[in-house]
Structure formats: structure tokens, C-alpha cells
Amino acid sequence: MPTIQPFAALRPRAELASKICELPYDVMSTEEARSMAAGNPLSFLRVSKPEIEMAPNADPYGPEVYARGAENFASLIRQGALVRDPEPSFYFYRQIMGTHSQVGLVALASCEEYRLGIVKRHELTRPDKEDDRVRHIEALNAQTGPVFLTYREVPEISTWVEGRISMAPEVDFYGSDGIRHSSWLVSSLADQAWLAGAFARVSSFYIADGHHRSAAAARVAEARQGRGMSGHFLSVIFPHNQMQILPYNRVIRDLNGSTEAQFLDLLEAVFTLRSGPGGQARRKHDLGLYIGGEWRGLTFRPELTDAKDPVDRLDVTQLQKQVLGPLLGIEDPRTSRRLSFVGGIRGTAELEARVNTGEAVCAFSLFPTGIQDLMEIADAGGIMPPKSTWFEPKLRDALFCHVFD
């Protein structure tokens, strides 16, 4: 059973939260981050992506970059923009995006339970990305971006949480993208004990987003032997039925020597093809293909899928297995430069733009992977293909920071 730990969070002053808190470091390019932080000295991107303050040709993984991030982090603390709570607490974090609302518990999860598989993962990580987050944690002596965890919903917990967030939030602001972020403090020892006991009856946590953050935290914990609360990692834990997953679409740079007509002919063996307006896939096993200035609908031929294998049933698996690998020669989607991934938050218009400008020759839009698929695969110890899920809304960095004592 997973355990949760209260902690004394370092948090932004309520009136400054909208200026400080930012999207995670890994959902934008350096150029986009530089533009987002322009004119805002409090932007946390100056801590999470400090290369935006360096020369354009600076090495984003150079020691001076991490030193600049630590300097900017210390400056926010020194000027009182970020303030440490006096006592350990739990917190609730609600996000509202349009008609979608989700409420998570902010707590520390256990690096040892991550190592033992009680906190379950479903993706492989890249050593270079892990190294980056390890250096960032070590430079700041803190974790500033939470791991996004989920668990199978427990009605008793959901009812209890709803009662606690009926009062006015401590922090409440809208991001520049219109998403509302609200938080509540859980300082009562009796409430903390109830939450710890309730979550002790949950069978597992699942990493929804943040595999590199959790892997890096585990490495830091091992190196420090868990000293100073380093044996835990910052997390926000949501019930599975509140998860909103958008598709993770694919953009292809070339057709591996085929003409457009030849490629479409090859696809006939994998899909039922049809012409039609729009590119948003409407159901599982349906895809959209944008090529030659128009959209086509694709439906996987059912005989190609192993219905008993939860990984094989995924559309992202079948696309790789039946198309990207054998037809386009993209054998390793994690490293190929002929393939790009586009989060569903950018919409199908982004796919059209990349093809219409000549950056790519075609794009596939997918139906979102289901949260039940993710949990089933993680329970079986399986690994999903890279970029299988895009969770939205994204958790904001700096709303809660875990500083090692």
C-alpha cells in the first residue's frame, strides 16, 4: 500500500501566484519559454528553464545554467515571493479547464515505494533527461515540479475531499491560458491522520505524468541515502475518474521513398480508409491522416490486433507496429528525427500547419489512450510506447515546492 507524507511546502504569496507559477519545463521549447517569461522577473521559468536568461547558443545543460536557476530560486525566497509554511501539511489542488474539474491531494510520495513498484510506472525514461532533473534538484536542494499521480477512485475519499474544498481557497488564480488554479491547506493533525489512513487502503499509485521527475527523485534519494526528506518526492494525487487525457499525435517528415499515392495504397492493408472533413479521431481504433492538403479517416483492421494484450490494443502501438516501423522505416520512435510528437492541446490545426508549411509530409491524429488502459498496463508491468498520453490540464510548477531540510 502506498504511503503519503505531509510536508512544509514553499509556496508563492497568494497575490503573486499568477505571476510566479508556470507550466512544466518540458512542455515548451526554450524560445517559447523565453517569450512567456519576457517582462516578468517573477516567472518560475527563470528557475525551471534558466537557459532563457543565457545566450541563445548556451548549452542548456551546462553547470552555469543550473547555477543560474538556483540563484533565481534563492532570489524569489529572499524577496519573500516564495514563503515556507511553518508546519507540515497536506494540500488540495483544484484545476478547472472549461467544463472539466479535477482535485488532487498534494503530498510527498515515497521513493522507496517507487523503487518497489508500489508507485507504478508505464513508460521508459531517457538517461539524459533524468540527468537534467537530477542536476536541477541538486542545484536547488528542492523539488519544484510535482509528479502527477493517479489512483483508482475511492468514493469515501472523494466525498471527504469535496467537503473540505467547499470553503474559500487560500490561493486562487487564472493562468494566461484561462485555466483556474485553487489550493487549500490541510493543517489539522486529525485531518492529516484521516487522509493518511484512507490512502493507506489504496492499492497503488500510478504515474500519469512525470516519469523523469520521479526517476530523478529516486536517484537523488539513493545518493543522499534519504537524508533531509530526500527519500520522498513531490506529487499531486488525483482519482482516476477525474483524469482528462488528450491524444498525442504524430507528425512525419518524409514517406521513406514512397509517393503519396503509393503510401495510401500501402495503408489499405492496415486500415479501412475514407474521405471526410476534419481530423479529430472520434473513437478508439480510428485515426485521422492529413496528407496532400486533406484529411482522411482511418480505422484499424481488427484482425491485426492481439485483443488479449493491453499494450498491443493501444492505437499508438498499432500505428508504430503496422505503419511507422514497416512502412516508413521509423524503428525507434524515441530517437528518430523523422518523427515528431504533438500534444493534443495544440489541436489538429497545428498538424495541418506543419504539413502545409512543408515541415512535414503528413500527420496522424489519434484517439486518446484511456486511463483504464494505462492502469491495466502498469498493473501487468507493461511499458507503453513513448508519448502515448497527454494529460491536461498540466500541473503548475512552483505552486508547491518540496525543499529538503
Looking at the predicted structure, is the pLDDT value of residue 279 above 80?
A: no
Q: How far apart are CA 237 and CA 138, in angstroms?
A: 24
Confidence grade of residue 306 (pLDDT, cut at 50, 70, 90):
confident
> What kind and span of H or E run contains 111?
helix 111-116
How many angstroms from the chain centroid is the CA of residue 204? 19
Q: Which residues contact 270 (CB under 8 A, 6 or more apart)?
A: 298, 300, 301, 304, 322, 323, 327
pLDDT digits (tens, 9 = 90+) for 281-303: 889 999 999 999 999 999 999 88
Q: Which of 255, 278, 277 has its CA nearest to residue 267?
A: 255
Instruction: Say whether domain 248-367 belongs to CATH 2.60.40.
Output: no
Over the stretch 20-75, which tens digit does the pLDDT of each residue have? 999 999 999 999 999 999 999 999 999 999 999 999 888 999 999 999 999 999 99
**pLDDT averaged over the chain?**
95
Q: Mean pLDDT over residues 94-98, rounded?
A: 97
Percentages helix, strand, coil for the chain (3-state, rounded to 5) are: 35, 25, 40
Only one residue has cell 534538484, namely 137
Q: How far apart are CA 366 and CA 350, in angstroms?
A: 14
Ordered by start, the domain boundaries in the chain are: 10-245+392-403, 248-367
pLDDT at residue 277, rounded to an integer? 65
Q: What is the pLDDT of residue 84?
A: 98
pLDDT at 114: 97
**Dihedral pair phi/psi, residue 364, rounded to 5°:** -110, 130
Per-residue model confidence (pLDDT) at position 405: 80
The string of pLDDT tens digits covering residues 140-161 is: 999 999 999 999 999 999 999 9
Q: Which tops the pLDDT comparison, 405 or 315?
A: 315
Q: 191-245, pLDDT tens digit by residue?
A: 999 999 999 999 999 999 999 999 999 999 999 999 999 999 999 999 999 999 9
Specify the pTM: 0.92
State the DSSP code for 384.
P
> Is residue 305 scored above 80 in pLDDT?
no
According to the model, what pLDDT value does residue 403 have? 98
User: What's the confidence (pLDDT) of residue 275?
Assistant: 82
